[in-house]
Chain A
Amino acid sequence: MKGVGFDNLIHAPNRLQICAILAASAEIEFKVLRNELDVSDSVLSKHIKLLEEAGYVLLNKRADFGRQRTWLSLSSTGRAAFTEHVAALKQIVG
Chain B
Amino acid sequence: MKTTDTLISVDEARAALESLEDTHRKAILFFRPPLWLNLLAASMFGMLTMSYALMSHDNNWVLGLDLSLAGFLLSVAFMFYSYRLLGIKMKIVPASLSGKIFQAVQAVIYSAIIFGARELYLDGMAWTPYVAAVLNAGTFGYLIHHYPTGELVSKEGVK
**Interface on A for B, CB 8 Å cutoff?**
1-9, 11, 13, 16-17, 20-21, 23-29, 31-32, 36, 53-55, 64-65, 69, 71, 79, 81, 83, 86, 88-90, 92-94
Contact = CB atoms under 8 A, between A and B. Distances in A.
Nearest to A89: B13
Given A17-B23, A26-B90, A7 B3 contact: yes
A94 B10 contact: yes
Contacts of A83: 96
B63 interface: no
Nearest to A12: B16
Contacts of A94: 10
Interface in B1-40: 1-10, 13-14, 16-17, 19-20, 23-24, 26-27, 30-31
**Pairs A-B, 7 closest by C-beta atoms:** A29-B87, A32-B87, A27-B89, A92-B13, A54-B1, A8-B3, A24-B149
Size range of the chain B interface in the assembly: 35 or more
B4 A13 contact: no
B95 A79 contact: yes
B102 to A, nearest CB: 13
A89 B20 CA distance: 11
B87 A2 contact: no
B88 interface: yes
Contacts of A27: 88-89
Given A13-B19, A29-B87, A32-B87, A93 B1 contact: no
Interface in B69-93: 84-91
